[in-house]
């Protein structure tokens, strides 16, 4: 699943989700670096504590994201697939 994330500084980057559960995510950003994101209450942060916002989730053709959505965001709607609110 593709993502657009925004850092506190306002920097927006594209990322690809590598692994996730309800408490954390591992992503690779467009510069080729991997980041660990942790869920803190209703927000996401980097391991160093920097807050980020997930601005968009993008389906990647040929990859089924329904199991991911059901486990991480069961009530949000992303590209016509039922996912949970974040």
Note the pLDDT tens digit of each residue in 57-83: 887 788 776 666 555 554 444 455 544
Backbone angles phi, psi at 45, to 5 degrees: -135, 155
Average pLDDT over residues 43-66: 84
pLDDT of residue 10: 94
Average pLDDT over residues 22-36: 87
pLDDT of residue 41: 82
CA distance 69 to 31: 25
pLDDT of residue 6: 94
Domain containing residue 44? 2-82
CA distance 81 to 64: 10
Number of domains in the chain: 1
Return the closest-CA partner of residue 5 out of 84, 86, 62, 74: 86
At 84, is the pLDDT very low, low, confident or very high (cuts 50, 70, 90)? very low
């Amino acid at each position: 699943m593709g993502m657009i994330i925004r850092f506190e500084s306002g920097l927006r980057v594209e990322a690809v989700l590598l692994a996730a559960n309800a408490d954390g995510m591992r992503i690779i950003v467009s510069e080729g670096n991997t980041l660990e994101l942790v869920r803190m209450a209703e927000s996401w942060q980097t391991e160093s504590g920097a807050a980020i916002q997930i601005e968009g989730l993008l389906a990647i053709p040929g990859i089924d994201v329904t199991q991911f959505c059901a486990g991480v965001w069961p009530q949000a709607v992303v590209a016509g697939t039922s996912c949970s609110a974040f």
